[in-house]
Structure 1
Amino acid sequence: MIEIFKGGIPVISTIDRWYEDAKLEGFGAMIPFIGIVRPDGDIEGLSFDLYLPMLNDWFKKWQNLDDAKIMMAHSFGDVKIGESSFLCAVFTKHRKEGFKYLEEFVEDFKANAPIWKYDLINGQRVFAKDRAKKLPGAGILK
C-alpha cells in the first residue's frame, strides 16, 4: 500500500495505523524507516513532484513477496526541515529478513521511484539536479 500526503507525513499516526492493520497477520517484526528533511546548506525544506501511475507500477513488484509485507508513504509538495517526506515499514516473520528487505526496498526506491526533489531556497523551488538520478525508461533526467 502506498499513501501520499500533501506536505509532511504524520509519522506517529501513520505507523500506529499500519501496526494496528497488520499486527494480527502473523508477522513477528515491523521495521520502519523514517526519512526526515534535514537542514542542509541554505534550504528551508524540500519539495516533491511525483507521478502516481508510474509510482504504483514500481511499487507493485514489492507487493508480491511471499514472506513480507511493505507499506510506504511519501509527500508531494513542500516539506519543512524536521518533517518527514518518506516513511516505509517492512513486516516479516523474523527481523533478519525484515532488515534485508528494508535495505533493498529503500535502495530501489532511491534509484527507481518516479519522485523528483527540489530544494526550497528563499521560498523558491530549485531542482536538486546534483542529487537526482536518471529513471530507467523515463527520459526526463540527463
Structure 2
Amino acid sequence: MTQACNRTEEMAEEQRDILKLSCDWLSIQEVVEAVGSTSCGAISVFIGTTREDEIDGRKVIGLEYEAYELMAQSEFTKLCADIRKCWPTVMHICVHHRLGWVKVGEASVAMAISSPHRHDSQQAIQHCIERLKANIPIWKKEVYDNQETNWKENSECPWSKLGSVHRTMK
C-alpha cells in the first residue's frame, strides 16, 4: 500500500507555463483548458478587450500590437517564477496575446491561472496582468477613425515614467 502512495506522489502533475503570441483570434476555452487540473478547485480568468474610446475628437477603431517575441518569452518565464514565489500553490499559468490588428470589441489578451483555492489564483491573475503590461515587450498603437495612429505607453512601464520625466526636463 505504501508503494502505491509513493508512486502517486512521484506522478504528481508538473506545472505548465504557456505564452502564445499570435495574430489569430483568441480562444478563451483553449486558455481555460490549458490550466485545468484535478488538483485545482479554482481557475481565474482575465480577458482584455479593445475598448471604444475617443481621444482629442478622434474615435479609436482598433489597436495594432507588436512584440519582441524572444524577449517576451524570457520575461514571461521570469513573471511565472515571480507568481509562484508569491503564490506557491499556483499550478498552471496560460497567457495568449494577440498581435497585429485587433478591432474594438475583440479580445487582445486572455489569461488563466489555476490553483487549489480561488484566493491565490485571483491575486495571481491581477499580478499577472499588471506585470505583463509593465515588463513584457508588447506594444500597441491606437488607430483612429481618421486613419491617424498613436503609439501608447503603458503607465505600468517603469521606463515610460522615467522617459516622461526625462522628456519634461529637456
TM class by shorter chain equals: 0.7 to 0.9
- Partners of 1:47 and 1:88 in 2: CA distance: 19
**Aligned residue-pair number:** 135
Q: 1:38 aligns with which of 51, 75, 93?
A: 51
For 2:22, give the aligned amino acid: F
Give the match for residue 69 of structure 2: 52
Cα 1:72–1:21 change in 2 (3 A) is closer
Give 1:26 deviation, angstroms. Answer: 1.3
Cα 1:6–1:123 change in 2 (3 A) is farther
Check whether the contact 1:35–1:86 (CA below 8 A) recurs between aligned residues: yes
Give 1:16 deviation, angstroms. Answer: 2.0
Q: 2:42 aligns with which of 12, 15, 29?
A: 29
Aligned ranges 1:3-82 → 2 under 5 Å: 3-6=20-23, 9-10=25-26, 14-41=27-54, 42-64=59-81, 65=84, 66-68=88-90, 69-82=92-105
User: Secondary structure at 1:59's aligned position in 2?
Assistant: helix
Please identify the structure whose Cα radius of gyration is greater. Answer: 2
User: Secondary structure at 1:44's aligned position in 2?
Assistant: strand
User: Secondary structure at 1:55's aligned position in 2?
Assistant: helix
Identity %: 27
Cα 1:28–1:62 change in 2 (3 A) is farther
Instruction: Identify which range, 86-95 or 23-32, moves more after superposition.
Output: 23-32
Unpaired runs of 5+ residues, structure 1, are: none
For 1:133, give the aligned amino acid: C
Check whether the contact 2:72–2:137 (CA below 8 A) recurs between aligned residues: yes
Check whether the contact 1:31–1:91 (CA below 8 A) recurs between aligned residues: yes
For 1:29, give the aligned amino acid: A
For 1:72, give the aligned amino acid: V
Unpaired runs of 5+ residues, structure 2, are: 1-17
Give 1:15 deviation, angstroms. Answer: 2.8
Cα 1:44–1:5 change in 2 (3 A) is same
Provide the aligned C-alpha RMSD in A: 2.6
Give 1:32 deviation, angstroms. Answer: 0.5
When the two structures are superposed, what TM-score results if normalisation uses the length of structure 2? 0.69
The reply on whether 1:107 has 2:150 as its aligned counterpart is no
- Partners of 2:63 and 2:151 in 1: CA distance: 10
Check whether the contact 1:70–1:88 (CA below 8 A) recurs between aligned residues: yes
When the two structures are superposed, what TM-score results if normalisation uses the length of structure 1? 0.81
Cα 1:76–1:30 change in 2 (3 A) is same
